[in-house]
Amino acid sequence: MPAQISAFNDNQQRVSTQQLLQQIYAALEAGETEFEVLSSGHHNIGGPLWTQNGEPLRFRVKNPGQRVGSFGLDGTEIVVEGSAPADAGWLNAGATLTILGDGGDTTAHCAAAGRIYVAGRVGTRSGSLMKHDPAYEPPQFWVLKNTGSFSFEFMGGGIAVVCGVDCEGFDSVLGDRSCMGMVGGTIYVRGPVRGLSDEVWLLDLDEADREFLLAGLPVYLDKIDRPELFEELSDLGQWHKILAKTYEERSRVQHLTMREFRLREWVPEGIFGDVVTDDYEHVAGLVNAGADRLKIPHWQDKRYAAPCESSCPTSIPTQERIKLLRQGKVQEALELVLRYSPFPASVCGEVCPNLCMDACTRQYIDKPVAMKELGRLSRDAAAPLPAPESGKKVAVVGGGPGGLSTAWQLRLRGHAVSVYEADKEVGGKLRQVIPTERLPAEVLDNEIARIKNLGVAVHAGTKVDQELFAKLRAEHDAVVIASGAHSPVVIPFPGHERLVKGIDFLKAINAGERPPVGERVVVLGAGNAGMDTCLGAYAMGAKKVTAIDIQRPAAYQKEIAHVEALGGEILWPFFTDRIDEKGVHGKDGRLIEADTVIIAIGERPDLSYVPREWLSIKGMMEVDDCRQVTRAPGVFAIGDTIRPGLLTHAIGHGLEAAEFIDTYLRGEPLVAKKKPEIVPQECLSKELFRPQNRGRFCVIDAKSETNRCLSCGTCRDCSMCLEACPEGAIRRVEMDNGRFEYVSDDHVCIGCGICAGICPCGVWSMEQAV
């Protein structure tokens, strides 16, 4: 006779769960092993209870509360007659729990051993967190009908069987969102399943599954007393099995890869495919060769002019000449200069202010390259061979530096040239006004002989008037107006008639006439001509020479220094009021005492021999950018006839005019030339040149200067780039004409810019591709 445990006391009042459970403990102590429990919603009936001798315990429970069978141990068997509320079989550790009705929510929650048989439905979250302790048999959880939603959440082990009986019309016999977080265990299910977690597989049964079910079903159906269902349930074709994905299976990408998505799903060829050409398979690195470079190097020899070349009015490319010298090509170097100027010794070597040296990059390292010495090297150089005779004739009016330069250049180009000079010998101001201490006569004579020897016909002592000019024009294919400026400018101050004209004064000196001067001389005008006049005055015996000017002296510093060394003085600003026997009176009342006052503020051209309409309103020749007289095709004008300038300007004009005339004579259209841009100093790696100590600096010889020259803008072939290129992308290529070039291989070059950054000459430039 089982122990009778009742929910009610003698007064028919409900006892507490604690009192009811105490009744069970007392009976167990008394040796009872079978219990009939009439509960009234009392919790926790059935476990954890045991006998010392291992004798099994049996409970029949009516109307239990929550957690019936919880903590149940091996050897405990509990039968609930009817339904059980929530948590039946909670933490089951080995008991057999049979519920003959429905199970509530979370039935078999956390069950880790034993068996739970339910004869009806179970509520939500049933089977959640079931586990399997490998030291024991796995727990089993059998449900005849269906589960609520969220069943088998976080299931970690054990076996659940949901038979799906009496579920017609259900979407899912496991409710919705079953098996969320399930990591282990097996669920056998018969009937439709929806909303399963994607962490599990829904599989067909294998042989072992079938064996398990066919062995287990009779036992289960016997427990719940429904053996008649065996036939229906043993049709295993309706069953499936749910297994959790393994750890490895879970981490596998379930979606398409982005590559697959782009290629299979996305707009073919991309949404920008019609407006942008781009291959998305190509992903550049941060450093690239080829097309993805941010910068592209170009070896651009002579793209920039050197400062010397650019500042020289005659555009003599000294860096080029030095390069030839450096290469040992002395003849070519000397000849190169003669192709620019017939006066390298007289002008470059003596009288030129050498603007090239003022611009020379080397001055920023130590001292400029010695250009004067380079010029003198060409003193005795032979003239280049002229081109074959063209059959064209050109007349040049004026045998000064400009006219002779034009004649020289035209002759080199194979044209017949006649120079008409009013003076008795050509040379112009070089001969007439430059003090001989600045320009030794034999140097000039030598160079003028070289011009004549080239075949330039000279008609000295021939002043060109209107009549002759018209004749010249008629008889020649082109005419050059190069008659210079010889009419002194005089300002009509009171007493201006006392003024000596500077140019006449200098001409007289050079003609050997020794014009007289007083002891005190004032020169009006402190330009270069003014300084020459000062020197002339000293040479003629003056004791004290003062040059005055209304503005900062325009003369070059070395000219001024020359005069000052002789005791001369430069005064400015000085505004002349009048001139009388005492000297020069300033508007401020100052008086500079003078015995002789010479005016040297410039000269105007005498162009009375050309039609007036060819002149500008300033009385100068009006020419276009090609030095051609605007109103007279075939007539060209240069030098002081178009604007006052230096000797070297006149020589440069001669070169330019000759080039244009050559083009003109070939019948081709004239196009003005653009001077190449001067090399920016920051392109030159001057640091590669070791400065010489200025304190003990001296020019050794022209040859030693060649290495000092940076070769601005012109490759000096040092191969720094070739050595420094980190990718070895640069090679030096010898060409058939004896020249060379450096080439960067686009397929190797990464566009780092090291070649350009270290080039001493600024020859490499980086094209900014981005």
Binding site for other proteins (CB under 8 A): 150, 153-154, 177, 180-181, 255-256, 258-259, 261-262, 265-267, 269-276, 278, 280, 282-288, 291-295, 364, 685, 687-690, 724, 726-727, 750-754, 756-758, 768-770
Is residue 498 a contact partner of residue 596, using CB atoms and an 8 Å limit?
no
Looking at beta carbons only, is 670 or 748 nearer to other proteins?
A: 748
Q: Which residue's structure tokens are 């006449």?
A: 504
Q: Least Å distance between CB 252 and other proteins?
A: 14
Looking at beta carbons only, is 176 or 577 nearer to other proteins?
A: 176
Looking at beta carbons only, is 663 or 692 nearer to other proteins?
A: 692
Q: Least Å distance between CB 233 and other proteins?
A: 30
Number of neighbours of residue 502 by Cβ within 10 angstroms: 28
Buried b (16+ CB within 10 A) or exposed e, 440-479: eeebbeebbebbeebbbebbeebebeeebbeebbeebbbb
Q: Least Å distance between CB 758 and other proteins?
A: 5
Number of neighbours of residue 89 by Cβ within 10 angstroms: 37
Q: How far is CA 8 from CA 5, 20, 54, 280, in A?
A: 9, 9, 30, 81
List the one residue out of 315, 373, 380, 311 whose CA is nearest residue 348: 373
Beta-bridge mates of residue 604: 487
Q: Least Å distance between CB 723 and other proteins?
A: 10
- What is the rounded CA–CA span in Å between residue 470 and residue 683? 53
Q: Which residue's structure tokens are 């001055």?
A: 363
Looking at beta carbons only, is 449 or 769 nearer to other proteins?
A: 769
Q: Least Å distance between CB 319 and other proteins?
A: 19
Looking at beta carbons only, is 182 or 658 nearer to other proteins?
A: 182
List the one residue out of 637, 662, 702 whose CA is nearest residue 337: 702
Q: Least Å distance between CB 191 and other proteins?
A: 22
Looking at beta carbons only, is 132 or 293 nearer to other proteins?
A: 293
Looking at beta carbons only, is 153 or 532 nearer to other proteins?
A: 153
Is residue 460 a contact partner of residue 424, using CB atoms and an 8 Å limit?
yes
Q: Least Å distance between CB 160 and other proteins?
A: 17
Beta-bridge mates of residue 394: 417, 478
Quote helix, strand, coil % in the chain, to nearest 5.
Answer: 30, 20, 50
Looking at beta carbons only, is 227 or 728 nearer to other proteins?
A: 728
Q: Least Å distance between CB 353 and other proteins?
A: 23
Q: Least Å distance between CB 255 and other proteins?
A: 4
Q: Least Å distance between CB 769 and other proteins?
A: 6
- Alpha carbon 468 to its chain centroid, in Å, reads 64
Q: Least Å distance between CB 768 and other proteins?
A: 7
Looking at beta carbons only, is 256 or 550 nearer to other proteins?
A: 256
Q: Least Å distance between CB 15 and other proteins?
A: 28
Beta-bridge mates of residue 458: 419
Strands (E), 605-758: 635-637, 730-734, 740-744
Number of neighbours of residue 414 by Cβ within 10 angstroms: 16
Q: Which residue's structure tokens are 């162009």?
A: 607
Is residue 634 a contact partner of residue 558, using CB atoms and an 8 Å limit?
no
- What is the rounded CA–CA span in Å between residue 311 and residue 371? 13
What tokens does 41 get?
Answer: 């919603």
Helical ranges in 454-491 per DSSP H: 466-475
Q: Least Å distance between CB 296 and other proteins?
A: 10
Cβ partners under 8 Å of residue 583, min gap 6: 520, 522, 591, 592, 593, 594, 595, 597
Looking at beta carbons only, is 180 or 410 nearer to other proteins?
A: 180
Q: Least Å distance between CB 499 and other proteins?
A: 45
Looking at beta carbons only, is 458 or 754 nearer to other proteins?
A: 754
Looking at beta carbons only, is 284 or 441 nearer to other proteins?
A: 284
- Alpha carbon 769 to its chain centroid, in Å, reads 7
55: DSSP letter: -
Number of H helices, E strands in the chain: 21, 30
What tokens does 185 get?
Answer: 């265990």
Q: Least Å distance between CB 306 and other proteins?
A: 18
Strands 239-244 and 184-190: antiparallel
Beta-bridge mates of residue 396: 419, 480
Looking at beta carbons only, is 461 or 757 nearer to other proteins?
A: 757
Q: Least Å distance between CB 693 and other proteins?
A: 9
Looking at beta carbons only, is 311 or 685 nearer to other proteins?
A: 685
Strands 596-599 and 520-524: parallel
**AA identity, residue 461:** G
Strands 764-768 and 295-299: antiparallel
Looking at beta carbons only, is 610 or 752 nearer to other proteins?
A: 752
Residue 605: asked if its preceding bond is cis (omega within 30°), the reply is no
Looking at beta carbons only, is 13 or 693 nearer to other proteins?
A: 693
List the one residue out of 323, 302, 315, 307 whose CA is nearest residue 708: 323
Buried b (16+ CB within 10 A) or exposed e, 23-49: bbeebbeeebbebbbbbeebbbbbbeb
Q: Least Å distance between CB 199 and other proteins?
A: 10
Looking at beta carbons only, is 261 or 572 nearer to other proteins?
A: 261
